[in-house]
């Protein structure tokens, strides 16, 4: 009886959520509130009601995230300070409309670090360096916390920092081109690949800290490096870094929330697939791995071959098929390498139970946000095109992605799906998601053709 009473007293004596906040927590909250007040005072007259609402909601959301995961506090303050420094450097050089963007070629810090293009290029370099050092650490250390892996983690944080600085500065730059051109940079493939890069990396870094292991960085940063590689190719071949006016369908406040929510899904689905790869290497029979290496790419090559023999292909589509085959070849080579070195890798990666739990949590988070994004997209479609659903190729494939992960979660929660089968499903789910994200833009057309390659 006394034991029960004591326990109850201890529970009642726990401080409240706000009472557990320290000085740094409240200082962070004050900084966020002060920044929002400055933005309201400076730019409030240019905002519509929806934008003011987003700004108001962003304050408690960002404060809560910083309180929930302390590394976000330093990241937020650092990104804000660097972005404001870049804006101040731009505003020292003005033209008839506003800041002169030509200063990005003459001012040292803008040219080499803080202009949007410089920051995003730094993001790419840091992602590649992080991936390499994670792999070095994976082969060099057995405890999951070698010096190289710690460096890889730090480089990943630096990549997120530069990606966010590039995003915010690009947002400012777009408003300096013309009054009707400024927009949040999530409107084309170049911009959303930057979004995918930092968001996937940031989710991985959270799980890295949560589970206390850095050994999965080598796997997850591979998919991030692939995204950066595509981004660099897209920049060089298409000049995609140039800021363009929004097409009419994108001139909506819905874009500000639909696209980021969508890419939480894409990022966490990609993360779960790479964790699934680590699980398969640890738990699947070697014969099944080699069979999958042949069967899955073989099926994809057959589909790509159908496009080639379909006739009347435009040069752009034929080129896209060729690029897809080359990318598939690289993926097969990487998968084969991991199979050949699986004994060494398995000695360094976490237990299967941890991998399975991480894969489930990543898919659950991604599915929740992807569901929200799909609903928001339907409202946006009703506003832009007059109907909630039109079976446009992008919408159709978004539904296929949603059904795929809905079925995965259903089978796990109801039927207890675990292990190798769940991992193969998650890995193949990445291929389905990639086609919905890129394949539709490469091979199909529709109302979302503004995002084509």
pLDDT tens digit string along 402-429? 999 999 999 999 999 899 999 999 999 9
- Burial annotation 68-96 (CB, 10 A radius, 16+ → b, else e): eeeebbebbbebbebbebbbebbeeeeee
pLDDT tens digit string along 348-400? 899 999 999 999 999 999 999 999 999 998 888 888 777 788 888 888 999 99
Tokens of 276: 């699934």
Residue 7 above 70 pLDDT?
Answer: no
Give the pLDDT confidence score for residue 76 in this predicted structure: 93
pTM of the model: 0.89
Residue 420 · residue 283 · CB < 8 Å: yes
pLDDT band at 9 (very low <50, low <70, confident <90, very high): very low
**Which has more confidence, 327 or 414?**
414
Q: How large a percentage of the chain has pLDDT more than 90?
A: 49
Residue 63 above 70 pLDDT?
Answer: yes
Mean pLDDT of the chain: 85
- Residue 125 per-residue DSSP state: H
Give the pLDDT confidence score for residue 249 in this predicted structure: 73
Q: Which has the minimum average pLDDT: 157-171, 250-264, 348-362?
A: 250-264
Residue 223 above 70 pLDDT?
Answer: yes
pLDDT band at 10 (very low <50, low <70, confident <90, very high): very low
Place of tokens 């819905």: 254
**Which has more confidence, 199 or 183?**
199
Strand, helix or coil for residue 92? coil
- Domain boundary assignment for the chain: 68-232, 262-453
């Amino acid at each position: 009886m006394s034991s029960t009473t004591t326990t109850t007293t201890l529970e009642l004596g726990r401080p409240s959520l706000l009472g557990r906040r320290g000085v740094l927590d409240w200082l962070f909250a004050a900084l966020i509130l002060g920044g929002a007040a400055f933005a309201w005072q400076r730019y409030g007259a240019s905002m519509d009601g929806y934008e003011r609402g987003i700004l108001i909601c962003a304050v408690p959301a960002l404060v809560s995230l910083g309180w929930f995961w302390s590394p976000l506090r330093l990241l937020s303050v650092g990104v804000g300070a660097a972005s404001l420094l870049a804006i101040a450097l731009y505003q020292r050089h003005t033209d008839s409309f506003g800041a002169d963007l030509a200063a990005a070629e003459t001012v040292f810090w803008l040219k080499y670090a803080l202009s949007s293009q410089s920051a995003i290029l730094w993001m790419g370099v840091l992602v590649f360096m992080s991936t390499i050092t994670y792999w070095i650490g994976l082969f060099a250390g057995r405890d999951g916390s070698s010096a190289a892996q710690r460096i890889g983690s730090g480089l990943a944080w630096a990549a997120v920092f530069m990606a966010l600085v590039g995003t915010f500065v690009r947002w400012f730059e777009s408003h300096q081109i013309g009054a009707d051109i400024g927009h949040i940079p999530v409107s084309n493939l170049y911009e959303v690949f930057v979004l995918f890069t930092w968001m996937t990396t940031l989710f991985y870094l959270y799980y890295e800290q949560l589970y206390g292991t850095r050994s999965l960085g080598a796997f997850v940063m591979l998919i991030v490096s692939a995204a950066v590689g595509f981004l660099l190719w897209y920049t060089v071949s298409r000049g995609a870094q140039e800021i363009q006016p929004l097409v009419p369908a994108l001139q909506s406040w819905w874009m500000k929330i639909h696209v980021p929510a969508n890419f939480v899904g894409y990022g966490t689905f990609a993360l779960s697939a790479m964790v699934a790869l680590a699980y398969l290497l640890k738990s699947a029979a070697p014969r099944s791995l080699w069979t999958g290496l042949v069967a899955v790419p073989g099926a994809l090559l057959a589909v790509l071959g159908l496009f080639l023999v379909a006739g009347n292909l435009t040069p752009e589509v034929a080129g896209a098929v060729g690029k897809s085959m080359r990318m598939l070849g690289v993926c097969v080579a990487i998968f084969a390498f991991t199979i050949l070195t699986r004994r060494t890798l398995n000695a360094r990666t976490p237990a299967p139970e941890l991998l399975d739990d991480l894969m489930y949590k990543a898919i659950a988070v991604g599915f929740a946000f992807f569901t929200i994004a799909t609903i928001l997209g339907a409202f946006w479609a009703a506003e832009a095109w007059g109907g909630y659903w039109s079976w446009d190729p992008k919408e159709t494939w978004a539904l296929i992605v949603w059904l795929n992960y809905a079925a995965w979660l259903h089978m796990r929660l109801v039927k207890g799906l675990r292990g190798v089968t769940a991992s193969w499903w998650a890995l193949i789910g990445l291929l389905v998601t990639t086609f919905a994200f890129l394949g539709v833009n490469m091979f199909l057309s529709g109302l979302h053709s503004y995002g084509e390659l």
